[in-house]
Amino acid sequence: MSNDLVTILDGDTFVVSDRRGDIEASLTDPTGLFSSDTRFLSKWVLTMDGQPLNPLSVDDLQYFETRFFLVPGTGTVYVDAKLSVIRRRAVGGGFHEELTILNHDDEPIDLTTRVEAASDFADLFEVKDALEKKGTYSSRVEDGKLLLGYERQTFRRSTVISATAPARIDEQGLTFDVHVEPHGAWTTEIDVSATILPAENVGARPVPAKKRRREHMEENLERWLGDAPRVECDWEPLRVTYRRSLVDLAALRFSPPITAGKSLPAAGLPWFMTMFGRDSILTSLQALPFTPELAATTLRVLGLWQGTRVDDFRDEDPGRILHELRSGEMAAFEERPHSPYYGCADATALYVVLLDEYERWTGDKKLVRELEYEVRAALNWIDEYADLMGNGYVSYQRRNEKTGLENQCWKDSWDSISYRDGRLPGFPRATCELQGYAYDAKVRGARLAREIWNDPAFAEELEKQAASLKRRFNRDFWVEEDEYFALALDADGNQVDALTSNNGHLLWSGIVDKSKAKAVVRHLMGPRLFSGWGVRTLAQGEGRFNPVGYHVGTVWPFDNSFIAWGLRRYGFKQEAAQIAAGILNAAAFFDGRLPEAFGGYEREATKYPVQYPTACSPQAWSTGAPLLLLRAMLGLEPVGDHLVVDPKLPSGIGMLAVLDVPGRWGRVDAFARGTIDFNARSGLHPELGAPEQASARRR
């Protein structure tokens, strides 16, 4: 998101404006009031005596509330300080704006204050793709309110605007005749309500977007922060990053109507404030040691929406976990398949992984019993519907060829899956990490079947399948001469042989033969993949490598957090700490808010991480990355009813404590001591991960 824009949000309702608080959107411009994937205001401009205002400052009070300080424009660089204007705006069911004009002069003042309002009711997809509207617009004044409307057959949306102060309302906005006494103030409250209207002939009532009281939201945020474990650390940037992650995760919480007020993580703010199978699951995994309730809601909601039939338009199969759910006009008229869309090849296996990991942490066997049907259906999907080539591997090929997704793995851009020489394979594609996830799902499913569902025969069957998959995988995907795993198998069963970060996910899933792990780690930490900040998505020297290519050379914090977990799983503690150091150092450059990705340049060459330009910030799984890195550094692992702590800190952190880690053990504290380099600490931004020999034991 551009730094010049200000965003506040509550779930899938959000306002994006300029620094004056104004909205002047064109069809492709990403500003406005949005709710339920629809833009409800595309114009919202405040003027005084016909002049726009100048911004002095913006005070981001909370993620759902902000305050704009403004002064009238003079047309020169000088500011007329006799008058100032405060717009305090809070989101919720649309938004609520408190407009205050302060007269600092000894003379009274009379002003014509105007708010221009309009809406194009664009679908989020239309904003992204610049598409034309097909319905009709209306604008009318009724009962002292301005009603903006849009109608396409039975699809009806309305924006209702009203004010507490007397106003002259016309079809384009509200005008206030303002008189302010010397040193006095004038104020009005303006309410903008985003409303979904049902069709006229079905006899139901209009549904205003849900409203939450501001106090309630503040309490909610305080409770969220209070419930999370505390992090203490002598390396200040980590405390800042942790706090940032918790607040951003709070903002990213999304409560679809079916969750009775409980939340799951949406994918990114503001354009991806909806349920995504993959993003919600991976973020819940990252956050498990800190906020396990996110995982429970994610599992319940994704389970409710699990596929039950074969629908080519939505790429739906029985047992498949959804990719993305949208509720705007284009989904409604089936111009896009997101009602919901299921074209995702990894979320179904990851669903099983999350449930098992969740139970290992929380001991919540009840949820495992509750979701037995869904987990069995998910495991069945892997064998019955995902093996498109009949070779025992999970692969993907969209059936919706017009609007479905080509790449149904996390690296979903068009050129992300390539051979070393840069050629792109045909379809289906069996990417390697999908096999790892499937293996892990079977192993974990077997544990659930044996220990909780009391079905040892099913457990044995799953374990047999997992062992067979692992054996075949280590044979078929292993690039013998260079000793790493190929990115994918193509439709002919040949290796798509580019060297990629996916090797790290394989460690996380446990599908890598122990004898091969060392060679894999050598590649991950070697100069072709490791940039100094983290592991690149694609290795330097490969045909399509580009340090600023989305999935072909950039470094993704989320990717690296799972790689660090994978390294720990195979006992490579020092390497996991090195990855944590690189990513946490990068986070310090962004005030603790990691971008989705940054450039894959050599760290030595740029000295700072070059942010990849992206529309969403914060991104859920980037927000979750520091949480998973904390887990990796501390070596947190539930074993039976205990939490095992086996720390390895990067040099530069002398002390790290995570207090009150929730789980089946109640609440416990995890402590670690490390080494610090006294020379490096004299700098303003001491960096983590300096070579061991240069550091000294602190105590």
Annotate 231-266 with b (16+ C-beta within 10 A) or e (fewer): bebbbebbbbbbebbbbbbbbbbbbbeebeebbbbb
Is 494 an interacting residue with respect to other proteins (CB under 8 A)? no
Piece of the chain touching other proteins by CB under 8 A; list 304-312, 510-518, 525-533, 687-695:
304-312
Per CB under 8 A, 671 contacts other proteins: no
Of 577, 586, 531, 530, nearest to 557 by C-alpha is 586
Is position 201 an interface residue for other proteins (rule: CB under 8 A)? Answer: yes
Of the pair 51, 308, the CB lying nearest other proteins is at 308
In angstroms, rounded to a whole number, what is the distance separating the alpha carbons of residues 250 and 260?
Answer: 17
CB of residue 341 vs other proteins: minimum separation in angstroms? Answer: 11
- Contact, 552 vs 540, CB < 8 A? no
The region of 74-82, 233-241, 380-388, 598-606 touching other proteins under the rule CB under 8 A is 380-388
Element (H, E) at 576: helix 573-589
Q: What is the DSSP string of 47-97?
A: EETTEEEEEEEEEEEETTEEEEEEEE--SSSS--TTEEEEEEEEESSEEEE
* Residue that the structure tokens 């009949």 belong to: 390
Binding piece for other proteins, criterion CB under 8 A, among 17-25, 184-192, 199-207, 541-549: 199-207
Contact string 249-288 vs other proteins (x = CB under 8 A)? --------xx-x----------------------------
**Which of 66, 119, 327, 695 touches other proteins by CB under 8 A?**
327
Q: Select from 313, 427, 453, 458 the one that contacts other proteins (CB under 8 A).
A: 313
Pick from 156, 470, 536, 648 the residue near other proteins by CB under 8 A: 156
- For residues 294 and 631, the answer to whether their CB atoms sit within 8 Å is no
Stretch that binds other proteins, among 235-243, 386-394, 429-437, 624-632 (CB under 8 A): 386-394
Residue 97 vs 317, nearer CB to other proteins: 317
Peptide bond into 208 cis (omega under 30): no
Task: With contacts defined by CB under 8 A, name the span among 192-200, 445-453, 475-483, 520-528 that binds other proteins.
Answer: 192-200
427 binds other proteins (CB under 8 A): no
In the complex with other proteins, the residue whose CB is nearer, 205 or 514, is 205
Per CB under 8 A, which of residues 390..409 are in contact with other proteins? Answer: 390, 399
Structure tokens at 460: 């044995």
Give the 3-state secondary structure of residue 524.
Answer: helix
Task: Tell me: does residue 331 bind other proteins (CB under 8 A).
Answer: yes
Task: Using DSSP bridges, classify how beta strands 23-24 and 43-48 pair: parallel, antiparallel or unpaired.
Answer: antiparallel
Is residue 196 a contact point for other proteins (CB under 8 A)?
yes
Indicate the pairing of strand 32-35 with strand 13-17. antiparallel
369, two tokens? 């019993």
- Separation CA 109–CA 347 (nearest Å): 61
Q: Which is nearer to other proteins, 219 or 312 (CB)?
A: 312
In 3D space, the residue among 667, 663, 656 whose CA is nearest the CA of residue 634 turns out to be 656
In angstroms, rounded to a whole number, what is the distance separating the alpha carbons of residues 490 and 417?
Answer: 10
The pattern of x and - marking residues 352 through 371 that bind other proteins according to CB under 8 A reads: ------------------x-
Shortest spacing between CB 316 and other proteins, in angstroms:
8
- For residue 83, the cross-strand partners are 103
**Shortest separation between residue 304's beta carbon and other proteins, angstroms:** 5
Instruction: Write out the DSSP string of 338-387.
Output: -SSB---SSHHHHHHHHHHHHHHHH--HHHHHHTHHHHHHHHHHHHHTS-
CB of 147 to other proteins, least distance (A): 17
CB of residue 156 vs other proteins: minimum separation in angstroms? 6
Task: State both tokens at 558.
Answer: 């989320």
Q: How far is the CB of 435 from other proteins (least distance, A)?
A: 18
Binding site for other proteins (CB under 8 A): 153-156, 196-199, 201-205, 257-258, 260, 304-306, 308-313, 317, 327-328, 331-334, 339-340, 370, 373, 384-385, 387-388, 390, 399
